[in-house]
Amino acid sequence: MPDTPASVAHFKETFEKLRAEISKFIVGQQDIIEQVLSAVVCGGHVLLEGVPGLGKTALVNTLAKALHLKFQRIQFTPDLLPADIVGTQILVERGGQKVFEFQQGPVFCNVLLADEINRATPKTQSALLETMQEKRVTVAGTSHSLGSPFFVLATQNPIEQDGTYPLPEAQLDRFFFKLYVPVPSHGDFIEILNRTGGKASPEINAVATGEDILQMGQVVREVPLEASVQDYLVKIVRATHPTDVNATDRVKKYVRHGSSPRGAQTILAAARVRALLDGRYHVAREDIAKAATPALRHRILLSFEGEAEGVKTDEVIADVIEKVKA
């Protein structure tokens, strides 16, 4: 299309502006920042996992400031109820009569921070299922649409910690990426102290709007995919199932269920973003392989034997990629 170069240039410029603005406050974590932004422009949700104090919440807060969008935060606790998230019917007086009126919950926003999401009970966690997939809320038989764009950025503590509940598989599958936030390096520790220990913190400005995000998502969807690369992508996702012809010995032994088709959709979208950032208007196999791990690690269910032996899904995915590549 005649306007393709301009659209791609605008995509890269806006993406780099957001990355630079977030990096004013967040030290290091460049891969995490890029992957979160990739999910956002694709309209996806992100699950950030790590021990407390690594800056997961700070990253989401900084992203919200860099975007001119409505932001809400929910602190998940064991006593949180579904109505505290989506809203509820309240009795009000209108024209001398008492009627029920829907009062919106904090989920009615553009950017939702679900902080420590696995501290809440599974019943409360499930309140986000409809909002994350259909972008709407149904209360008392009436559906209410959410804003556009809408994405959930959730943080969780490692499930081995006390007072946590594993997220249901159906909800995990709705997350675009699951990202592990690492411990900062020695140099990053020093820079964190320098930035946060002074008299003033870096000021974060809004450098993009909701319309920018929607336009970027449209550019991503238009990046072409060659048939052989598509075949490569499908083989990787299917090989995570123990019954597939390309399944590795580790998959057959330790995996109970492989990725859903939503995993393939996620890899494709993320690979298109990587291609655009690399200055290409086509998807390469390297883009697919790079996006596979954060897109599939939470969509592969290990068997009891795999969990008992401490097998990591990242290792399973790496095995699958090597076999399909060969």
Concatenating the DSSP letter of every residue in 42-79 gives: TT--EEEE--TTSSHHHHHHHHHHHEES-EEEEE--TT
* C-alpha to C-alpha distance for 63 and 15, rounded to whole angstroms: 12
* C-alpha to C-alpha distance for 115 and 60, rounded to whole angstroms: 10
User: What CATH architecture is 223-326?
Assistant: Orthogonal Bundle (1.10)
Q: Span 1-78+107-222: which CATH code?
A: 3.40.50.300
Q: Could you check whether the bond before residue 261 is cis, i.e. omega within 30 degrees of 0?
A: no
**Annotated domain spans of the chain:** 1-78+107-222, 223-326
* Residue 326 reports pLDDT greater than 80: no
- Per CATH, 1-78+107-222 and 223-326 having the same topology is answered no
Mean pLDDT value of segment 284-289 = 93
Percent of the chain with pLDDT over 90: 29
pLDDT at 198: 67
Q: Is 137 helix (H, G, I), strand (E, B) or coil?
A: strand
Angle between the 313-325 and 227-238 helix axes, to the nearest 10 degrees? 140
* C-alpha to C-alpha distance for 32 and 34, rounded to whole angstroms: 6
Six-digit token string for 239: 């090989």
Q: What's the pLDDT band for 206 if we cut at 50, 70, 90?
A: confident
pLDDT at 35: 92
* C-alpha to C-alpha distance for 224 and 14, rounded to whole angstroms: 21
* Residue 254 reports pLDDT greater than 50: yes
Q: Which residue type sits at 108?
A: F
Quote the pTM value.
0.88
Mean pLDDT value of segment 25-54 = 87
Q: Measuring CA to CA, which residue among 77, 44, 271, 55 is closest to residue 153?
A: 44
